[in-house]
Structure 1
Amino acid sequence: MKSIAERLQEKTDQLTRAERQLAQTIMQNYPASGLGTITTLANTAEVSTPTVARLVQKIGFSGFPDFQAHLHKELNEKISGPIAKREGWANNAPNEHIINRFTDAVIDNIRHSLADIDTELFDEACKKLSDLDRRIFVVGGRITRTLADYFFLHMQVIRNNVTHISSSSNAWPHYLIDVSEGDIVVIFDIRRYENSTLKLAEMVREKGAEIILFTDQWNSPISNYASHSFSSRIAVPSAWDSNVTCMLLAEIVIAEVQEHHWETTKERMQDLENMFDRTRFFRKFS
């Protein structure tokens, strides 16, 4: 089932000015922003209560209570830990083998995630990552740092001025001191979103740098600071979320950025291979 954020995004072109203003208010602290009364939400967005009623019906709900029930469900999904996610799956587990069920879920995640991508925004993000006048910083969280490390490793081969920010938040000031206006900070953040990463994003924006965010379908709070967000569906029959789709999107970005400066990238790769040969890093077969 599509999230409210996805429904709002799909209907953007069909919304009135007041409805767009309301949609922006909902997304500012999503999904908690819509958990109060209809009057509270209307006052916060500075619109009328009938505007709220019309918007929730426009995105497919029978009324405000139905809208809020969906928000509560999304909130529970966002904050649920591994044990709760595992139990939620086990209670409804079909009899098919885990290999098939897990793979089907991943394929479904990929299909829906790719369908939601705005290709113009994707191309724009890749163009910025290819701009050699911009420095790139990459960071992830407790789990997503592995994705950040993978992304950094490839980007560093493709181009210069790429920095991997340590996942330890007490070391961030040492990196942030070098971030300046025009730089790009790539952040990986999926549920349960980390407060320290959000604080990092706030500080990055204060310094005038842009954020490219890799997140999930519920959208990390960092999306409020990001110029570009890549949302992935991550739910699978497991206690853990799947990062397969997020990895796929990251690899597509890597492939596109590589093509922007292939001749330069090719030279860097050749230099790197020469160093590997000199240090005998890889085993050679003859």
Structure 2
Amino acid sequence: MIVRKLIDSKFNQLSASERRIAKVITERYPVSALGGVEDIAKRAEVSPPTVTRFAKRLGFDRFNDFQRAIRSEVQDSESSPLALFDRYHRSGSGSGLLADLAASVSRLEDDPAGSAIAQAVDIIAASRGRIYCVGGRWSSVAAQYLAFQLATMRGEVHALTPQASGLWVDRLCDVKRSDVMVLYDFRRYQDEMFAVADIVRGRGAKIVLVTDLDLSPICELAEVTLPVAVATTSPLDTLAPAIAATDAILAALVDIYKSQSSARMKLLEEVRRKTGAGANLDPLR
């Protein structure tokens, strides 16, 4: 990878603080290079301006340009679904899939994913507005899962599903500064999702992005970027780590909302009882 080689070639020219940044970034490259400036500075035990100077020392005008270069080279080297299938059939089987998934989920406790989960919880919990849950053609499954669970704890949770109706785009006109959008965007990234994020950010709302390790371009607009693994020993990408990260966010919010969520759940049960909604879901009844 070009940027990684650039860091290695410049390493001896860096200051002691900049070398700490280089070590943090190359430790789990490329994902370790794509957090926020503050996050990288904290992990390297340096100041945020030092991280900016590090990028300039490598020849980039801004730290965002440094990260954009990494995303571009990773995306360029990414295989298409057809190529993944071809490679899979040439190389063998998907044995060890469950162990692979377990390892991916366990890494969610480490940075940058671990700190991103904590930041996502803080942003969602602090919001007094609506929570929008959005995903693309494939990732909308995760968005709907978040909305379904979160709606049992607080009101004004909206799942915007592109497949269901063209009306979901109209809902973007209702977004306010007090709102939060949790957006799932995985390879191959959709221009439509970037446009949605751009509109939402323009209206002042915060964006929590859940994406793959290569990082969606939306990370430039997001308040928090939560990277999760999607690749497995199978040629099919997985949502399992993304759902696990979502469950971690939900579990933390349960503790934060406490009495609020308890009161809402009681109200939901009463409404369902009176309307009969979900009354026949138990096959034994």
TM over 0.5: yes
Q: 1:258 to 1:11 in 2, by over 3 A?
A: closer
Aligned residue pairs, count: 241
Q: 1:29 to 1:185 in 2, by over 3 A?
A: farther
| Residue deviations 1:134-165 (CA, integer Å, cap 9, x gap) | 22111111011111111001111110111111
Task: State, as a whole percentage, how many aligned pairs show the same letter.
Answer: 20
For normalisation by structure 1, the TM-score amounts to 0.75
My pick for the range that moved more, 264-273 or 189-198, is 264-273
- Of residues 186, 210, 215 in structure 1, which corresponds to 2:211? 215
Structure 2 Cα separation of the partners of residues 90 and 113 of structure 1: 30
Cα offset, 1:226, TM superposition: 0.3
Cα offset, 1:285, TM superposition: 5.7
Q: Does 1:19 align with 2:14?
A: no
Q: Does 1:231 align with 2:257?
A: no
Structure 2 Cα separation of the partners of residues 218 and 31 of structure 1: 6
Q: Does 1:106 align with 2:101?
A: yes
- Of residues 260, 270, 275 in structure 1, which corresponds to 2:256? 260
Q: 1:211 to 1:132 in 2, by over 3 A?
A: closer
SS of the residue 1:157 aligns to: coil
8 Å Cα contact 1:29/1:221 also seen in 2: no
| Residue deviations 1:231-266 (CA, integer Å, cap 9, x gap) | 101111222111110000001101111211121211
What is the match of residue 87 of structure 1?
Answer: 86
Any stretches of 5+ residues in structure 2 without a counterpart? 1-26
Amino acid at match of 1:188: Y
| Residue deviations 1:162-185 (CA, integer Å, cap 9, x gap) | 111132584343111100112101
Structure 2 Cα separation of the partners of residues 198 and 177 of structure 1: 16
| Residue deviations 1:192-239 (CA, integer Å, cap 9, x gap) | 000100011111111111100111111110110000111101111222
Structure 1 Cα separation of the partners of residues 150 and 240 of structure 2: 19
Structure 1 Cα separation of the partners of residues 153 and 209 of structure 2: 20
Any stretches of 5+ residues in structure 1 without a counterpart? 33-70
Structure 1 Cα separation of the partners of residues 34 and 283 of structure 2: 55
| Residue deviations 1:13-65 (CA, integer Å, cap 9, x gap) | 36654323434312236432xxxxxxxxxxxxxxxxxxxxxxxxxxxxxxxxx
Q: Does 1:160 align with 2:155?
A: yes
Mapping 1:1-286, distance limit 5 Å: 2-7=28-33, 12=41, 13=44, 17-21=52-56, 22=60, 23-28=63-68, 30-32=70-72, 71=73, 74-77=75-78, 80-93=79-92, 98=94, 100-117=95-112, 119-131=114-126, 133-168=128-163, 170-278=166-274, 279=276, 280-283=279-282
What is the match of residue 12 of structure 2?
Answer: none
For normalisation by structure 2, the TM-score amounts to 0.75
Instruction: Name the Cα RMSD after superposition.
Output: 2.6
